[in-house]
Structure 1
Amino acid sequence: MMNCKHLLYGMALSALICAGPVMAQTIPSPKEHFGFNIGDDYSLANYTQAEAYFKKLAAASDRVLLREIGSTEENRKQYVMIVSSPANLKKIDRYKEISQKLARAENLTDEEAAKLSLEGKPVVWIDGGLHATETVATQQLLETYYQLVSRKDPETMRILDDVIILLSQVNPDGQELVSNWYMQGKDLSKRNMNIPRLYQKYIGHDNNRDFYMMNMKETTNISKQQYVEWMPQIIYNHHQTSPEGAVVAGPPYRDPFNFAYDPLLITGIDGVAASMINRLNAEGKPGYTRLSGSVYSTWWNGGLRTTPYFHNMIGILTETTGNPTPSKIALVPERLIPNNATPYPITPQEWKFRKSIDYSVSMNYAILDYASRSSDKLLYNIYVMGRNAIQKGNQDNWTLQPNYIASINAAYEKDKKAGLIAKSESVGRGGPEIPMKYYDDVLKNPALRDARGYIIPADQSDFPTAVKYINSLLKSGVLVERATAAFSVNGKNYPAGSYIVKTNQAFRPHVLDMFEPQDHPNDFQYPGGPPVRPYDAAGWTLAFQMGVQFDRILEGFEGPFERVAYGELQNAPAAKVTPSAGGYLLSAAVNNSFIVVNDLLKAGIEVSRINSAQDKMPAGSFYVPAKGLAILQKSGVEFGTAATGVKGKPNGAVKITPAKIALFDQYGGSMPSGWVRWIMEQYHFAFQLVYPKDIDQGKLRSKYDMILFISGGIPPVGRTEPVWGRMPKEDEVPAEFRGWLGSITPDKSIPQLKAFLEEGGNIVTIGSSTNLAYHLGLPVKNALVETKDGKEVNLPGDKFYIPGSILQVNVDTSLPSNWGMPAKADVVYNNSPVFHFADGAEAQGIKPLIWFGKEDSLRSGWAWGQSYLKDGVAAFVAPVGKGKLYAFGPEITFRAQSHSTFKLLFNELYLKK
């Protein structure tokens, strides 16, 4: 129970709360259901128990509607608990309708919106458990659910009257795994979180990186609730843990914020943040840090709390300390002096799990109290942001961004040096006064306007992948139109079936973010100092990653367009395949062709690849004999893959067979490997997981044709400790998982990999796993170095720094590794390796696959010192004995988003006879 002296929070609040919450006797408490109180030391509830509790309370209370929202990747049920007053729940469909209308802001006047904001109820989403080892987040949801359903104090009753609350466990599979693992230990002191695999079936911690792509079932379920169904005005995403010496890291967040946002979004975060920290301070709960006190910004799209920003929704993230195993608040002297980042420091002390639960519930209540007191403002403001977005999409608009400002300054300085600036123009109050003409030349330049819309032509080479891109927009609540007939815009003709995405819609920030380059500011700790690392990526433009062809339209345009219903996913147009006695060709430029080929090979049907372009098909396209017709027809409907009839098998076509593929993984799970596992399943490639001990046992060539090492699999030369941190000892894990332990080592693993190559096996390495080239002593070297004191050292961050961004590379389309690729491609670069060939590389048969040109390569994000990239090799193939090593520096399979480079992996996964 809270101490009443700390509850003087708001007008007369102490009088209301100090009477103490009156618990309804018919609502079973957590201890009655779980056998322990939430927050008890060494105690965690698993998802099976939690699901039963969700249902039990929903059956016992008239404050809850329990809704199933979909299944997880491991086929557990996912729910949203809708909590509010019984009167509100009787009108829940009306309140949802009002929330949708105000968020979409379509065909509403300000007066109508104001009226709806008074009638409606704000919707607040509170979740837990996305990162399952962050157990404070998982368990606080149960305690919050219980308190909201059972308490009868005045504050709770007011919140229930005023607010629609959506509670959701967002990673059921992870909660089940982590809680069961932790609770299995009989010796309490040895209970741990050293789980053997990822806590989301494929992607683990990266499940918070999937919220604009929505590959995973869980992400799709959540996004549908947030962007199609409910449109919450506030989304609160709980995480763990805080920086050392703090209890909570929360809003407001540090710069930069994304330039696509409405300013009301940023100040809206500030309003919620003030309520949270004020409540904790009033309750005597110190240790909340914000702004520069933590690493979190509001730049990036893709997380559960960040993607809402691009939908005019206030996203809140907190990182809270605590574990079921008692812990400590560490001594960090720098945090003990109050400042704007940490106004109320906490002193070093022992820390109990229950304290973390109490902090979390307090912050939940702070947000709900804010929503209650600001009900009509929250509803009206989301309308205003949507209205503003629609207006911007209907008129000429220039988004203010760093490269425009740099252009203004550069033009002014150039003219100033040339003596073209009159003295009377060059001095203003407090410094130089730049004449307005420099502003007009850039920010009134018609060519630099924001797009009014985008057209995705239906006749592009890989339209099925473009449809997947459209579905990512639809899952995110974006308004999409489809052409019902051929049409033309600005003199260019487009076929029926093309998609149109206009920017005159409420979710315009998300539309711009998915089509346009991100322009991350140059962000350094001080002039000439080291860069400030972005929270995640600096650039991610999804249309670039997926290789979608589209046209930016700068003027308003109309056509024979029909609206796609919100959230209604699209299928690639069915391709009709007619009988052809001579067989068929499938395009190597279409990713879905690989699905069809794998299905054909599994059915025992011979498939070949052509060595040169013919019949309007690119080199590497697949020849399928006539007996493959049934599968081709089925796939044409399901995957939109067109098969063109030909007279016969083309000359020079080379038969392919499936390779025996091993995909490297390790104890605890590799996220990059997990993403590839998901990709391989989607494209119907058969494979087997292998672990370090499997590698060390040798005889690899008798088992596999191909081994895949995704980022993180191969350590740098000279490193002896595991890439992913401490590996548990064998006696710390059950026997069934001991075969997964270990790591790749220079003395045991590398010789076995070298032998595998020499005996005719092939290895694909991506990202940091290209370290294998150095272990093998190949004549390649790091391109991103400088000579200092006679030694080569890595370039420092103040000279070269490219965090996650999109860069453009040149592609040798004549090589089988690059079949189906364009001559220039966009790749995901994330501090990735870049190579130069040393003497002897060409004689050894090493060939560049993709490389950087002489021009600047940045397409989206942040690239400091990109001149160092020029002419650098981004990927190469090297013969080693009878086999080949493929080294791809860029992240060609990045989070299963970079569809445009999937073929660089897929092309290696067949044997050629």
Structure 2
Amino acid sequence: MKKLFLPVFIALLSFQLTPVQAQSGANPAIPSPREHFGFNIGDDYQLATYTQTEAYFKKLAASDRTKLVDIGLTEEGRHQYMIIVSSPENLKKLDRYKEISTTMARAEGLTDEQARAMAAEGKAVVWIDGGLHATETVGTMQLIETAWQLVSRKDPETLRILDNVIILLTHANPDGQELVSSWYMREPKPEKRTLDHVPRLYQKYVGHDNNRDFFIMNMKESQNIGRQLFIEWIPQIMYNHHQRGPAGSVLAGPPYRDPFNYVFEPLMITGIDALGAAMINRLNAENKPGFTRLGGSVFSTWYNGGLRTTTHFHNMIGLLTEIIGNPTPETVPLVPQRLIPNGNTPFPVTPQKWHFKQSIDYSLSLNYATLDYAARHGDQLLYNIYRMGKNAIEHGSTDYWTLSPRRIDAINQAYQADLKNTSATASRGGAEIPAKYYDAVLKDPALRDPRGFIISADQPDFPTAVKFINALIKTGIQVQEATADFTVAGKQYPAGSYVVKTDQSFRPHVLDMFEPQDHPNDFQYPGGPPVRPYDAAGWTLAYQMGVKVDRLLDGFDGPFKKLPYGELQVTKGKMDAGSVAGYTLSAQANNAFIAVNDLLKSGADVYRLPNGISGKPELGAGAFFVPASGKAKSLLDQSARELGLDVRGVAKRPAGAMVKVQPMRIALWDTYGGSMASGWVRWLMEQYHFPMQVVYAPDIDAGNLRKKFDVIVFVTRAIPPVSANGGSGTGGSSSQGPKAEELPAEYRPWLGRITADKSIPELKKFLEAGGNIVTIGSSTNLAQHLGLPVKNALVEMTNGGMERPLPNEKYYIPGSVLRVSLDSTQQATWGLSNQTDVYFDASPVFKLAPDAVSKGLVKPLAWFATDKPLRSGWAWGQAYLQDGVAAFMAPVGSGKLYAFGPEITFRAQAHGTFKMLFNQLYSTAMP
């Protein structure tokens, strides 16, 4: 009997851990996926469209275990659904459980005893999504299968989960599923089906960048999801499904590699550890190898802005898995180094053929591991999110110092400086530094974390500041508004100013949006190459948006009212229509360009004032003047009310130079398969009412461009570099494109890339004939193709006397925020400050030929005036930037080339530099 006991125990354990198939007749009113779709989820060569999935969700809604919620419309107008799954008894008390979840997360006014009582009463809330990146088809299909299993199964584990957990199953990208699945299934013969060469982005505007939108939430899908996550429910666990896993593994999952963001509550990080252990333990018990974690993958918890990562800054246990698998069978490749078991990959997978169903089964096991953990630890999860929120409130209410690499460096530098001035020697290994050096840095009152921030209503572009405030509100941040004028720290502020204090549960997110990120110097080994951040290294939204913020180190109060959570603010403007000659608009306000475009569309006259109006700094160079008319008055009155603009009437036309504004025929480059950078600009132009036409490489190569367009915009990765041998490099994706005959006729005109031999000559003709071109990021390569007197500033001389780009060991700047200087009296930079923050991602920096400026061949627009321009993120070797030119204008024939090295429209977050584009989209000529 003793010999039989262990095998029997293992068999029973495996029975409990392995997903049980739905029992026959469990709910005869609801069809199985096979009955609805005509195939099992996970069958090779089969994908469901969103149209089919939406219909299935509505059938699942007939179950007494579900509530189907329409969370909003997508960018293409489809309904986006969330299926809430729990026991029938829990669904009857859903409002109460939602109240407990949000109350615990916000932790306002609760005692520990009250919190423990609510934790015992409440139910754990777990978010599981799928389909955000639509070509990652496992995510959508597992969501369907998970919903079916939870609705139909009656095994003890499922019933325990339903009794103790509220599950939010959310479709993250309906439009993308419809596009990608339809593309795959268009081929009648299954073996010929492919996900390759989807013709456009799988989110209308931004494709893969839909997972970089969650601290600003520009896209409708992001807004729908964000409201559920940060306002309506605030789940304790959110699970974000992605693919693909690193080669030689099946999936990457939690816990993640360093660095993690220093503003996090430690319980969030260790909560990820606990869920990661539950996931990998379940897979191992089910004999499912190939889970890699920690240093086994590139994924970290540094970045904010992703669907999963933004939840980290809200004290949620945000989970990400990246799994392999496609409807077309594939192979797990041989990667020898991954076959050695270690802490990253305790149970390696061996090379083998891999079917879609295996990925679905893995995903279902991972979901059940997460839900089982929540069912067993629900009270702990609820109490812990309260504890994290309470800690954040306490930290924001007292003097507190956040640890970061910059401050640790300050401790070491102070100690080393004292050693040089004394005869003392450092202890072996430097392990015992006296505590006074800690006190000197991390008890320095000037280095305290802020107690709050004030966004004054009298700043130059207050409508954009309100957009920043709304980004905070959409992520569940408590914002207050001043009901009267007030004074703090000796400074006066007007009524209508906004206040964001740090004594709130989502303090990590508040700090992350206002304060600079201090990314560590992360190298593979001392003196070796840098380890690239998972996404950006720095992104401080207040900096990117150009918002003027006062940072308060001491507690403060005033005539402030707390705004209801989730209540977006309407920008408040005013119109002074008492004078009859006309009206003025400041060029400092981005929304002024909306008003101007509406005026131009109506046929009203608009002028710009190159010298502004003397004595009125708010109406500096580039301000707009609109002659009085009934049409102008009506439109400007609407703009003041809806756009928050300050429209001022003037008794007579302004003195001095005045140039008439004419709309331009705008072309925006794109490519087959879609460019995310182009999609963001297309969305921006729509928001700011710039009419434009999308063009592709064949349109450029066809020539005759000047008769069609006045300005062409090339975002990053459109224009190829000049090859060393002068060959014909190509812009856009470097991957092999599809053959025209393999595509539906409607997509064939999109094929092709910008080339040196065909496209560049046509662009040169366009410029010479009086057209303008705006290039951003790597597309500033056009300047070299045209032979302009500029070159790469970030080079060094080899021993052989040849120039080469600076190696990463000496100079490395991934996505970060830097400060540039500029001359705001120039037309290209009208409305900007002389010091402006830009988003910089290994961006081009230029050195001009010695006589280029004096001969009028190049005009610098922005440059690095210091050796320390870093504002937020990571800039190794930033001293190399000093005196480098970040942007310039060069006349070419009768036209102009504008070259902006930084990403001036980055993900529609960089409001502070939008005007670098907008100013170039008008034709201005003397009347």
Q: State the TM-score, normalized to the length of structure 1.
A: 0.97
Residue 854 of structure 1 corresponds to 866
Q: Secondary structure at the match of 1:51?
A: helix
Residue 573 of structure 1 corresponds to 572
Letter in 2 for 1:417: K
Q: Secondary structure at the match of 2:580?
A: coil
1:209 is aligned to 2:212: yes
Residue 421 of structure 2 corresponds to 418
1:720 is aligned to 2:729: yes
Provide the rounded CA distance (Å) in 2 between the counterparts of 1:13 and 1:35.
31
Letter in 1 for 2:270: T
Report how far residue 912 of structure 1 moved.
1.1
Letter in 1 for 2:625: Y
Letter in 2 for 1:14: F
Q: What whole-Å deviation, never above 9, does each CA across 1:754-806 have from its counterpart, x for those lacking one?
A: 11001100000000100111111111000111111221111111100000000
Residue 172 of structure 1 corresponds to 174
Residue 693 of structure 1, aligned match among 693, 698, 702: 698
Provide the rounded CA distance (Å) in 2 between the counterparts of 1:136 and 1:13.
25
Report how far residue 431 of structure 1 moved.
4.5
Residue 163 of structure 2 corresponds to 161
Q: Secondary structure at the match of 2:83?
A: strand
Residue 101 of structure 2, aligned match among 85, 99, 102: 99
Indicate the larger mover: 775-784 or 568-577: 568-577
Native 8 Å contact 1:9 1:282 kept in 2: no
Change (3 A) 1:605 1:8: farther
Letter in 2 for 1:593: A
Native 8 Å contact 2:14 2:285 kept in 1: no
Report how far residue 427 of structure 1 moved.
3.4
Residue 250 of structure 2, aligned match among 244, 247, 250: 247
Residue 899 of structure 1 corresponds to 911
Letter in 2 for 1:750: I
1:312 is aligned to 2:318: no
Change (3 A) 1:846 1:341: same
1:810 is aligned to 2:821: yes
Q: Secondary structure at the match of 2:322?
A: strand
Q: What whole-Å deviation, never above 9, does each CA across 1:355-397 have from its counterpart, x for those lacking one?
A: 1111111100010011011111100000000000000000000
Residue 272 of structure 2 corresponds to 269
Task: Please list, as runs of the form range in 1=range in 2, the aligned pairs for 1:381-530 lying within 5 A after superposition.
Answer: 381-419=384-422, 421=424, 426-427=426-427, 431-530=430-529
Native 8 Å contact 2:19 2:365 kept in 1: no
Q: Secondary structure at the match of 2:543?
A: helix
Indicate the larger mover: 186-195 or 468-477: 186-195
1:673 is aligned to 2:717: no
Task: Please list, as runs of the form range in 1=range in 2, the aligned pairs for 1:762-911 lying within 5 A after superposition.
Answer: 762-788=772-798, 789-842=800-853, 843-911=855-923
Superposition misfits of 4+ residues, deviation over 4 angstroms: 5-13, 15-21
Q: Secondary structure at the match of 1:856?
A: coil
Native 8 Å contact 2:21 2:153 kept in 1: no
Residue 766 of structure 2, aligned match among 752, 756, 768: 756
1:22 is aligned to 2:23: yes
Residue 298 of structure 1, aligned match among 297, 301, 305: 301
Residue 713 of structure 2 corresponds to 708
Change (3 A) 1:348 1:12: closer
Change (3 A) 1:67 1:648: same
Q: What whole-Å deviation, never above 9, does each CA across 1:323-371 have from its counterpart, x for those lacking one?
A: 1111110111111111111111111111111111111111000100110
1:333 is aligned to 2:336: yes
Residue 587 of structure 2 corresponds to 588
Report how far residue 716 of structure 1 moved.
1.0
Q: Secondary structure at the match of 2:705?
A: coil
Residue 346 of structure 2 corresponds to 343
Provide the rounded CA distance (Å) in 1 between the counterparts of 2:353 and 2:401.
53
Residue 633 of structure 2, aligned match among 618, 625, 629: 629
Provide the rounded CA distance (Å) in 2 between the counterparts of 1:54 and 1:359.
22
Residue 644 of structure 1 corresponds to 648
Q: Secondary structure at the match of 1:305?
A: helix
Residue 3 of structure 2 corresponds to none
Q: What whole-Å deviation, never above 9, does each CA across 1:262-285 have from its counterpart, x for those lacking one?
A: 111110000000000010111011
Report the RMSD for the aligned CA atoms in angstroms: 1.5
Native 8 Å contact 2:17 2:282 kept in 1: no
Native 8 Å contact 2:86 2:163 kept in 1: yes
Residue 613 of structure 1 corresponds to 612
Change (3 A) 1:431 1:845: closer
Residue 285 of structure 2, aligned match among 258, 282, 303: 282
Report how far residue 191 of structure 1 moved.
1.7
Provide the rounded CA distance (Å) in 2 between the counterparts of 1:351 and 1:6.
29
Native 8 Å contact 1:586 1:644 kept in 2: yes
Provide the rounded CA distance (Å) in 2 between the counterparts of 1:482 and 1:886.
41
- Aligned residue-pair number: 904
Q: What whole-Å deviation, never above 9, does each CA across 1:705-735 have from its counterpart, x for those lacking one?
A: 0000001111111263553122111122111
Residue 546 of structure 2 corresponds to 547
Report how far residue 21 of structure 1 moved.
4.4
Report how far residue 438 of structure 1 moved.
1.1
Report how far residue 854 of structure 1 moved.
2.5
Q: What whole-Å deviation, never above 9, does each CA across 1:480-502 have from its counterpart, x for those lacking one?
A: 00000011011111100000000
Report how far residue 417 of structure 1 moved.
1.2
Provide the rounded CA distance (Å) in 1 between the counterparts of 2:596 and 2:773.
22
Q: What whole-Å deviation, never above 9, does each CA across 1:495-524 have from its counterpart, x for those lacking one?
A: 000000000000000000000000000000
Provide the rounded CA distance (Å) in 2 between the counterparts of 1:703 and 1:722.
22
Provide the rounded CA distance (Å) in 2 between the counterparts of 1:572 and 1:530.
47
Q: What whole-Å deviation, never above 9, does each CA across 1:547-573 have from its counterpart, x for those lacking one?
A: 111111111111100000000000111
* Structure 2 unaligned spans of 5+: 1-5
Letter in 1 for 2:767: L
Native 8 Å contact 2:294 2:344 kept in 1: yes
Q: Secondary structure at the match of 1:49?
A: helix
Residue 659 of structure 2 corresponds to 654
Report how far residue 906 of structure 1 moved.
0.3
Change (3 A) 1:601 1:431: closer
Change (3 A) 1:227 1:18: closer
Provide the rounded CA distance (Å) in 1 between the counterparts of 2:690 and 2:805.
38
Q: Secondary structure at the match of 2:82?
A: strand
Provide the rounded CA distance (Å) in 2 between the counterparts of 1:129 and 1:282.
28
Residue 225 of structure 1 corresponds to 228
Q: Secondary structure at the match of 2:600?
A: helix
Provide the rounded CA distance (Å) in 2 between the counterparts of 1:605 and 1:722.
39
Native 8 Å contact 2:608 2:623 kept in 1: yes
Q: Secondary structure at the match of 1:477?
A: coil
Native 8 Å contact 1:8 1:14 kept in 2: no
Identity of aligned residues (%): 64
Provide the rounded CA distance (Å) in 1 between the counterparts of 2:7 and 2:847.
64
Q: State the TM-score, normalized to the length of structure 2.
A: 0.96
* Structure 1 unaligned spans of 5+: none
Q: Secondary structure at the match of 2:319?
A: strand
Provide the rounded CA distance (Å) in 2 between the counterparts of 1:780 and 1:720.
19
Change (3 A) 1:637 1:826: same
Native 8 Å contact 1:577 1:633 kept in 2: no
